[in-house]
Structure 1
């Protein structure tokens, strides 16, 4: 009974350690309808025309833009360590009567170093027939890593640039008005994708490892625009749910050691010596 009691106490202790994680996730408030309405109301309605003028958006924030066929449209979005981002784009095409043939649209994604990132899933290039009213493109990126070798092309935390444009169409269709809609969602890949190491700073234009100097009260110079970052700030890169599994494994190993010790040590009483010895 003593062994069973000790194992029960150990399991209850482990449950008390890992229980709050699930409770905290369950008790986290869900976004209200008013919050989503505010986000939609503040959604950008323009797009940049280059990397330097890319319009900043946030994850799960829809963005729209009116443009002319042939324009390059740019947006930027922060993607953090452990996230697997999916970019979705929808282009509303001109009236079929105004077009002269099919058109091919392309969605490209670049990281903070302006390296082109391949799509793991999705349809980043799609042809729209002459009578098509819309064309939809998707691109699911690889999981963002906290650190990578200098020679690798692994996605790293920082700003990601989205470029949308038409790559093949009749010459007479250049300049026709189109409307673009873009959104970026992300899921957490978990500790299975975690790696050791971290960047000194996210790959965001203007970001450095050194702290920013605090402006003085008497300074009249214009303050720089705040860097784009995810809600809650950038991840430090050291934490992942691998720590939970490591702690759980250590706890189970300790309980196994205690059980083995209790089974092999005996009752603790000295054995009886037969008479005559």
Structure 2
């Protein structure tokens, strides 16, 4: 009974810590928006290159009116331990008679170094018939790492560019008006995907120029209209996460480490207490 009472309190505390960490690892829900809605209103235009990409935050819905054949660009931030998922919806002209044939649409995601990141889940490319009304695309990336080897193509914290375009269409269909919607979610995967190192700074193009300038630069992007600044070279800076860049400062792996140490110490104390021989009082000796 004494051993049980001694171990009950610490064991319950360790179990609570483990439950908290497990809940963080299992959390796959997208980042909620500030107004509690499924997705908040975002920018209503898109850029035409990496340098003029329109910035938006995860949880926002970015829209744009464009023409079939245009290259449309957006940019959003993703931090360490997050798994970004980009969804794109293209609404085609209402009159199916205006289209002469089928078309193939594609969404690509690039990191801050403009390296195309592979999609591990979702339909990145989709062909639609001539009489289709909409086409939906989806791309889920690998979990963002805090640090990677120079030769690796691992996703790193920073800006992520979304490019949407039609890759195959009849020549007569090029130029037809379309409406596009882009959304991004960043599910937190927890410390199970943490690594030992970290970047000195997130991969945000133009951040060095922006840190020394106040206001917008002379670029042609839509930075100030979307709450971001442009670098001197016109590169649009993606908004940073609401809680700022973590860059691997803290993960719930610390909780697992502390809880494991506590459980190991308690197991050692319990094992010693159970294994040591009991001390019986020696019989009194009487003189002759």
**Structures share fold, TM-score greater than 0.5:** yes
**Correspondence list, 1:199-210, <5 A:** 199-208=199-208
- 1:259 and 2:270 matched: yes
- C-alpha RMSD over aligned residues: 3.1
TM-score (norm 1): 0.84
2: CA distance between counterparts of 1:23 and 1:157?
23
How far 1:211 sits from its partner (Å)? 11
2:207 partner SS: coil
How far 1:35 sits from its partner (Å)? 5.4
How far 1:207 sits from its partner (Å)? 2.7
Kindly indicate whether the alpha-carbon contact (under 8 Å) linking 2:21 and 2:256 is maintained by their aligned counterparts in 1.
Answer: no
Provide closer, same or farther for how the CA distance between residues 163 and 13 of structure 1 changes in structure 2, counting only shifts above 3 A: closer
How far 1:93 sits from its partner (Å)? 0.8
1:109 partner SS: strand
How many residues get paired? 262
1: CA distance between counterparts of 2:142 and 2:87?
15
How far 1:34 sits from its partner (Å)? 4.8
Kindly indicate whether the alpha-carbon contact (under 8 Å) linking 1:197 and 1:238 is maintained by their aligned counterparts in 2.
Answer: no
Which residue number in structure 1 is paired with residue 83 of structure 2?
84
Which residue number in structure 2 is paired with residue 112 of structure 1?
112
TM-score (norm 2): 0.81
Which residue number in structure 1 is paired with residue 189 of structure 2?
189
Which residue number in structure 1 is paired with residue 259 of structure 2?
248
| Superimposed CA distance per residue, residues 151-204 of structure 1 (whole angstroms, 9 cap, x where no aligned partner) | 000000000000000111111111110000110112111222111100000000
**Correspondence list, 1:1-277, <5 A:** 1-14=1-14, 34=35, 36=37, 39-40=40-41, 43-94=42-93, 95-208=95-208, 212=211, 222=215, 225-226=228-229, 227=237, 228-268=239-279, 271-272=282-283
2:84 partner SS: strand
Provide closer, same or farther for how the CA distance between residues 114 and 223 of structure 1 changes in structure 2, counting only shifts above 3 A: closer
Provide closer, same or farther for how the CA distance between residues 223 and 48 of structure 1 changes in structure 2, counting only shifts above 3 A: closer
1: CA distance between counterparts of 2:167 and 2:248?
38
2: CA distance between counterparts of 1:17 and 1:65?
46
1: CA distance between counterparts of 2:193 and 2:38?
34
2: CA distance between counterparts of 1:167 and 1:211?
34
How far 1:241 sits from its partner (Å)? 1.6
2:40 partner SS: helix
* Higher-RCO chain (CA-CA 8 Å, sequence separation at least 6): 2
| Superimposed CA distance per residue, residues 201-253 of structure 1 (whole angstroms, 9 cap, x where no aligned partner) | 00001235x9956x9xxxxx746655520111011303212111111111111
Provide closer, same or farther for how the CA distance between residues 197 and 23 of structure 1 changes in structure 2, counting only shifts above 3 A: closer
Kindly indicate whether the alpha-carbon contact (under 8 Å) linking 1:48 and 1:73 is maintained by their aligned counterparts in 2.
Answer: yes
2: CA distance between counterparts of 1:80 and 1:147?
11
2: CA distance between counterparts of 1:233 and 1:6?
42
Provide closer, same or farther for how the CA distance between residues 135 and 149 of structure 1 changes in structure 2, counting only shifts above 3 A: same
List runs of 5+ in structure 1 lacking aligned partners.
Answer: 25-29, 216-220
